[in-house]
A and B are shown apart, each in its own frame.
Chain A
Amino acid sequence: MAKKKAKKPTPAQQARKAKLTAKDKKTLNALVGMADGVFKQASRGRAPYLEVPSRSLSNVKYSPTKKIIEMGSSKNKRELFNLSQARTYMQTLLVGRGCKELIEQGKTTSIRGLYYLLKHTIDGTREETFNDQGDCDPVIEDVEVTLNALREELHVYASNRGAMVGNIQLIDSGDEIDCSRMGSGGYAIPSIVEEEVMQFVKCDADFILHVEKDTVWRRFNEDKFWKEHNCILTHGNGQPPRGVRRLLSRMHNELGLPIYCLLDNDPWGYYIYSVIKQGSINLAYESRRMAIPGAKFIGLRSRDYELCELNPSVTIKLSDNDIKRANQIAKYPWFEKKKRWQAEIKKMLTNGFKLEVEALISKDISYVTQEYVPERLAQGNFLD
C-alpha cells in the first residue's frame, strides 16, 4: 500500500495546483511545520512527540463574562515511543498527510472519505492503519486542535444532519435557496456553512425554533407552524452537528434572531441545550464560533407533567445512568449558579421520570404546535 501511495500523488501532482486561498496556505504551513518538528526531533536522536491540546473536561473553562466554554491551555504529549500512543501518533501524522493531499488538490471530503483515503494495511503486518471510523474521527479532531485549524480549513466535513424550513432565503455554493418552499423534507443543513459557502439573502422571520428530533420537527412543519408564527424551524437530529450549530449561531448573530429550543425533559436534552448555548466540552475550541449564549429553553420542563396534566403512562423511569448524568450536569459551572436550572434538574430527579416531547401527543396530535409552544412563547416563559 505504501508503494502505491508513493506513486499515486505523481499524476495528481500535475493535475492539482488548485488555486490556494490564503487560509489554505496557512493550514499547509501548519501541516509542514508538524512534520518538520518530527524530523528535527528524530535527527537529533530524541524520541519525537506531538503536543495535542487536551480535549477533556479538565481542560475546559467556563467564561462567565463571555458565557461560553473555552478550551484551556493544557496539552498532552503524544509520543511515538510509547506503547499506548505509538499507534495514535502514526494515525495523527497520516491524517495530516491526508489533509495536505486534499488541500493541494482543492477538494473536500467527508470524515468517512478521509478514513477510507488513509485506511490501508501496514506493510509487513496484518494491522490496519485505522480499524473503523471511530478510530479516525477523534484523530481528525486532534489534528484540528493541534494545528489550530478548523475542520473546513482541513477540507474535511461531517455528514449532513439536521434540517431547516422557514422564512429565509440564502445562497448555498452559488444556488439560491428559499427555505419557505422546501416541501415536507426541509433544507438539509450542510456541514460547512461559512460565509464563503453560504450567504443570507433575505430573512423575514422573527425567531428560530430549534427542536431536538426529526419527528417533532415534522409535526411542526406539517402544521405549518413556521408560517403561522413567522419563524425558522430547525432540528439537529439529537446532539446538533457543527454545521447546524454554526448556522444557528450565524443567524442569531448576523440576523439578530432569538433562538428557542424545544428539547426532551431528560439529561440528554439539558445537555443539548447546554451545547447550543455554551459550546461542547469536546469541541471547546469551536465555542467562539458556535456558542449562542442568548439561546432559551422552552421545554419540556419537569413541571409540565402536572401543568399539562399528562397521563402517567407517558413517563419513562430515570435509569441509574440518567441520575448520574443529571447530577453531573447540575455541577457544570454554567449550570451551577442558575437557581432555576438547579430547581428544574432537582424537580426531574424528584419526579423520578423523564418526558419526551412526543409525550405531548397523548393530549392531542397538534397540542404541541397549537397550544404548548404558542402559550409559552406568548408568556415569555423560558429557562435561560
Chain B
Amino acid sequence: MANKASGKSKSRRSTAQAMAAKQRSISVSEFFAKNRHLLGFDNPRKALLTTVKEAVDNSLDACEEAGIAPEIWVNITQTEPDRYQVSIQDNGPGILKKQIPLIFGKLLYGSKFHRLRMSRGQQGIGISAAGMYGMLTTGKPVKIVSKLSIRKPAHYYELQIDTKTNNPQILNNRGDGLDIPAGEKGRAIMEKKKIEWEAFYPVPEVEPSTSDDEHAEGETETREAPAPVEVRSGTRVTLEIEAKYQRGRGSVDEYLEMTAIANPHVTLHYTDPEGTLHTYARSTDQLPPEAKEIKPHPYGVELGRLVTMLKELKEGTITQFLTSSFSRVSPAVARRICETAEVSTRSSVKKISRDEADKIYKAIQQTKIKAPSTDCIAPIGEELLLKGLHQVVPGEFYVAATRPPSVYRGNPFQIECALAYGGQNAAQKVSIELLERLIEETDARTLRQFLMNTFDGLGSDSAEKIMKAGEFGSRQSPSKLKQAEIERLHDSMKNVNVSDGQAMQVLRYANRVPLQFKMRDCAITQTVMKMNWRSYGLSQSRSNLPSGPVRVMVHVASVWVPFTSESKEAIAHYDEIQKEIRLGLQTVGRKLGMFLRRRQQVKKEGERRNVFVRYLGEVAQAVSDLNGCDKEEIYNHLTRVAKRVTKEADTKLDDRGNKVSPEDYGDNVLIINDDPEGELTEQLDKTTPQKKLF
C-alpha cells in the first residue's frame, strides 16, 4: 500500500521500517476490550444481562457435568448509580485452586471449545469477558469463592486480567489467594472479610427436594423443624460492573424466567436490586441425561481444520488418522476416501502434502458416509417441557413435541417445540406498584414505546387501544406521568382486551440457554413467521408472527449450535435446522388447532343452546295463551327437549369426521380447566323459567 502510493512523491510519509516498528500482535483481551459489543456488552443494560447469563450458564454446565441438581443464587445490588454488584453462586463441583485464575482471568480458556458435546457455553469467552468488562468500567476485580467439598477449605481470589498479555493477575493475599477453612471457623472469617457465600440451602416450605442430607452433620435438632442443609461445594463469582437495571424485554428477570422454563431441574433464587426474592423451584429432580462427547463427523470439517488435525497427529497412516479422528469412518470408508483422493491408504500422515489434503477433503464430500450418531444429544423431553412451561407460564393449553435428532453439516442436532395457549398478558397482571417502578426505570420516550418495549406480546394495536381507553396523547412521555395518570393507565391496561392484537411470543433456546436478542435475525423466529398458523386457528397477517395469547418455545440442542455471531443471540439459517423446526411447530400447531376448534365448537354449542333457551319462554307463553295449557308445564317440556337436542349436538364431528374427544390430542398435552360439558349444563340450568316468566 505504502509503496504504491509513494510512486510519484519522493518524500515518503512513512517507510516500511518505520511501519514495522509499529506492527505488533494484538492480544485477544485487547481486541475484545475494544470490541465489547461482540461479546454482548454493547450497553449497560445488556452488560448486566450478559454477565448474569454467562455465569449462570457456566454454573449449570458444571452442575450437570458433575451430576448435581443445580441450585443457583443470583444477587444483584446497586452500589452506585449506574453500578451494580452481581454475584452468582452455584452448588456445583467447585474449581481447582490453580484453575481459578485461568478460568476467570483469561479469555478463550475453557473446556468446551475443543470438544463436540452439547453444552451451554462454547468458546470460553463469556465469564472472563464479564470480569474484564467490570475491570474496565469500575476498576473492581472479580471475586471468586470456590469450595470443592464440605471438609476442604474454600479458596478465595480477587482477580484481574492483564489485557496486554491476556493473563490473570491475583490481587489478594500478595498474589496467592486466600484459603478459608471449612465449617464454623471459615464462616466467621468470611463474615469478617465480607466475603459473600450461601452456606446453607434455604429451608423449603414443602418437603425438601434437594440431594441427600447425610452431610448435614452437627445439626441434630428436632425432626419437626428440618435442619438447614449445608452447601457442600460450589463456586461463587462476584463482579462489580457499570450497568443499568431495567425490567421487561431483554432483562435479567426475563432471562431467569426463561431459564426456569427450559431447565425444570434447576432451582433459582434471584434477589433483584430492590431486594425482592424470586424463587423458581425445580419441578423435577431428574437431571437431564449426560451429554456424550463425540468425534467430529467428516462432513462437518472444513479444509483448514482438516489440515490442522493432520498436523496435530504425529504418527500413523492416513487410514488410522481417518478412522480414529472422525466418527462414522470405518476402515472400509477410509479406503474409499483414499481411493477417490488417489492417496495410498498406508501413506504416513506426516507425508501428506497440502495438495493431497485438498484431495482428501474433496473425496470426503464425494464419499457416502453414515450420518453421525445422534445419541450425544440430551433433549429436555416432552414431559419436562410441559412441566417447565406450566410452572412459569400461565395458560389453558400446553403441548410439547420433541423431534427425532437430525444432522446439519455433520453436526447432530435436535429440535424441541412447546406451546402454551391462553392466560393473561403481562400487561394485565402488572400491579400498580410495579407499574410505577417500571415507568420510573424506562428510557422510552413515548408512552406507546414504553408499553410495547416493556410488555411482551403487546403489539402496537394493543398499545394504541390502551392509550385510547386511558385518553392519553400519542406523544405523551412516560416519565412525566402524574400519580393519577399512572392509576388511569393501570386501569385501562386492565380493562382493554389485548389478547386480540397480541402477537405470539417466541421463546428461543439453544442448548437450554434462552436467546433474548436479535429476534428477527434468528432462524427460529423466521421459521415461526413463515409457517401458516391460520390453519391452526390463529390469525396471522402474511409473513408475520401470528396473534393471540400464545407462547411458542423452540429449543435447538446440538453439539455445536450455529450462531450468527459470537454474542450467541440468534441461530443461523441452516435448511436442515429450519426444516426440523417447521416439523416440530407443525406437530404442536396441529394439536393447538384441535384444541381451538374444539373450544370454538363448544362456544358455538353454548350459543346454540342460548338461542333456544332465549326463545323458549316466548314460545311457552304463546302456546299457553293460545290453548290455555299450563305455561310452566309446557316450558319444562320444552327445556327437557332443548337439553336433549343440544346434547346430541355436543358430540359433533371434527373436520375429518371423527368424534372429537380429549383423548384424541395424543400424548404430551396439558389442558387446564377444560370442562365444556359442565359449563354448558350450568348455563342451561341457570335460566330457570320461574324467575324469568313470572
Contact = CB atoms under 8 A, between A and B. Distances in A.
A35 interface: yes
Interface in B615-645: 615, 617-619, 621-627, 629, 633-634, 637-638, 640-642, 644-645
B76 to A, nearest CB: 54
B611 A93 contact: no
A94 B629 CA distance: 16
A120 to B, nearest CB: 9
A97 B627 CA distance: 10
B627 A81 contact: no
B625 A100 contact: yes
Contacts of B672: none
A321 interface: no
Contacts of A89: 615, 619
Contacts of A122: 614-615, 617-618
A100 B634 CA distance: 19
Contact of A97 (B617, B626, B640, B694): B626
A96 B626 CA distance: 8
A35 B629 contact: yes
Interface string A83-104: 1001101100110110011000
Given A80-B612, A81-B612, A124-B687, A38 B619 contact: yes
A80 B618 CA distance: 12
Chain B: interface size category: 20 to 34
Given A47-B641, A81-B642, A6 B627 contact: no
B653 interface: no
B692 interface: yes
Contact of A31 (B621, B626, B687, B692): B626
Contact of A42 (B612, B622, B641): B641
A123 interface: yes
A90 B694 contact: no
A100 to B, nearest CB: 6
B693 interface: yes
Contact of A35 (B611, B614, B622): B622
A100 B625 CA distance: 9
A97 B608 CA distance: 25
Given A39-B634, A47-B645, A123-B693, A90 B618 contact: yes
Contacts of B629: 35, 39
Contacts, number: 101
A46 B644 CA distance: 9
Contacts of B619: 38, 80, 89-90, 93
A43 interface: yes
A11 B627 CA distance: 19
Interface in A319-346: none
A273 B637 CA distance: 50
Contact of A90 (B615, B642, B687): B615
Nearest to B642: A81
A2 interface: yes
A6 B694 CA distance: 9
Given A6-B621, A31-B626, A35-B629, A125 B641 contact: no
Contacts of A2: 617-618, 621, 692-693
B622 A96 contact: yes
B627 A35 contact: yes
Contacts of B633: 43
A48 interface: yes
A69 B638 CA distance: 39
A330 B597 CA distance: 49
A3 B637 CA distance: 21
B626 A35 contact: yes
A129 interface: yes
A80 B619 CA distance: 9
Interface string B242-266: 0000000000000000000000000
A127 B618 CA distance: 12
Nearest to B640: A45
Interface in A114-138: 122-125, 127, 129
A86 B634 CA distance: 16
Given A80-B619, A93-B619, A3 B626 contact: no
A223 interface: no
A265 B127 CA distance: 94
A86 B612 contact: yes
A34 interface: yes
Given A36-B627, A122-B615, A46 B641 contact: yes
A87 B615 contact: yes
B640 A32 contact: no
Contacts of A129: 618
Contacts of A90: 615, 618-619, 622
B694 A3 contact: yes
Q: Among A6, A47, A90, A122, which residue has the most Cβ atoms of chain B within 10 A?
A: A90
Contacts of B627: 32, 35-36, 39
A101 B626 CA distance: 9
Most buried by A among B614, B618, B638, B645: B618
A38 B623 contact: yes
A86 B646 CA distance: 13
Contact of B622 (A3, A43, A97): A97
Interface in B485-542: none
A42 to B, nearest CB: 4
B622 A94 contact: yes
A271 to B, nearest CB: 36
Nearest to B617: A123
A42 B629 CA distance: 12
A67 to B, nearest CB: 39
A87 B637 CA distance: 18
Interface string A1-40: 0110110010000000000000000000001101110110
A42 B620 CA distance: 10
A48 B638 CA distance: 8
Contacts of A9: 625
Given A83-B608, A89-B619, A127 B614 contact: yes
Nearest to B625: A97
B630 to A, nearest CB: 10
A34 B625 CA distance: 12
Contacts of A80: 612, 615, 619, 638
Nearest to B622: A93
A354 B621 CA distance: 52
Contacts of A43: 633-634, 637
Contact of B621 (A5, A48, A127): A5
Contacts of B626: 31-32, 34-35, 93, 96-97, 100
A86 B637 contact: no
Nearest to B693: A2
Nearest to B609: A81
Contacts of B614: 122, 124-125, 127
A35 B626 CA distance: 6
B638 A42 contact: yes
A38 B694 CA distance: 21
Nearest to A34: B626
B413 to A, nearest CB: 51
A24 to B, nearest CB: 15
Contacts of B608: 83
A142 B455 CA distance: 58
Interface in A28-86: 31-32, 34-36, 38-39, 42-43, 45-48, 80-81, 83, 86
A43 B638 CA distance: 8
A46 B642 CA distance: 10
Given A2-B617, A42-B638, 9 more contacts: A35-B629, A36-B627, A38-B619, A81-B612, A81-B641, A81-B642, A83-B608, A97-B625, A123-B693
State the 5 A-B residue pairs at the shortest beta-carbon distance, nearest first: A35-B626, A42-B637, A93-B622, A35-B627, A90-B615
25 contacts: A2-B617, A2-B618, A6-B694, A35-B626, A38-B619, A38-B623, A38-B634, A39-B627, A43-B634, A45-B640, A47-B641, A48-B638, A81-B612, A81-B642, A81-B645, A87-B615, A93-B626, A94-B622, A96-B622, A97-B626, A100-B626, A123-B618, A124-B692, A125-B614, A127-B614
